Amino acid sequence: MLRILVIPTYNERENIERLTREIINLGCGVSIIIVDDNSPDGTGEIADRLSEEFTQVSVIHRPGKLGLGSAYREGFMKALEMGADCIFEMDADFSHDPRYIPQFLSAINEHDVIIGSRYIEGGGIENWGLIRELISRGGSLYARFWTGMKIRDTTSGYRCYRRKVIETIDFSRINTTGYAFQVEMAYVCVLLGFDVYEIPIVFTDRRVGSSKMSGDIVWEAVKVVAGLRRKYRYLKEGGR
């Protein structure tokens, strides 16, 4: 089974090498696609060096900062081309701990989509202030209210998909660029009837570097999530 992990990067030179080595040292046989948005801090050059050292590391260089959602879309398509049986997504800043990867691999044998959840028993958040945690929890509740999803952590970006899920989704309709991408992906997976399962993770605020969150990303999420039912009404009417 070919397992491929897609990691978007923008100015992650302080994290990407150590993260890549930790993933490889797990010995789980996971390959990595780093999708770099022309990081001015030299992240792309570090990724190239890692790809020369490790055969299981590939790099996609993009011309500029094109957004998280489009980075995942491009990485997913490349993973399919490479023959991936399951495809991961995770952040480059160590907020998603690589130690959970074996648990994802075990769970994906029984389910179609695995979401690393902060908001189920055993999950949690470390090193966040109260306001930021309230915003995050509020965002997930907001998404559940508008979509009716039972998923507790709708905005989590630590996930694993079976190949058939990525092959089935019409990515031409998913054009969000920020964190709304995660909510939209989860909603589409539910509408398509895939088995979505949450496992607990502890999310830790980034160790080094700066957050990519912005007001524009938050506003996009507010608008996109409120319109998801209308956008995908055809799936509820006609299924796959």
3-state secondary structure string, 161-209? EEHHHHHHCCCCCCCCCCCHHHHHHHHHHHHCCCCEEEEECEEECCCCC
Region for residue 50 given its phi and psi (left: phi exceeds 0; alpha: psi -120 to 50; beta: otherwise): alpha
Residues 178 and 66: their CA atoms lie apart, in Å, by 10
The pTM for the full model equals: 0.91
Sign of CA dihedral 35, 53, 159, 193: positive
240 residues of the chain, pLDDT tens digit each: 899 999 999 999 999 999 999 999 999 999 999 999 999 999 999 999 999 999 999 999 999 999 999 999 999 999 999 999 999 999 999 999 999 999 999 999 999 999 999 999 999 998 776 676 777 777 888 989 999 999 999 999 999 999 999 999 999 999 887 778 999 999 999 999 999 999 999 998 755 545 555 556 566 668 888 899 999 998 875 555
Residue with tokens 């109260």: 130
- Can you give the residue ranges of every domain in the chain? 3-238
Topology (CATH) of 3-238: Spore Coat Polysaccharide Biosynthesis Protein SpsA; Chain A (3.90.550)
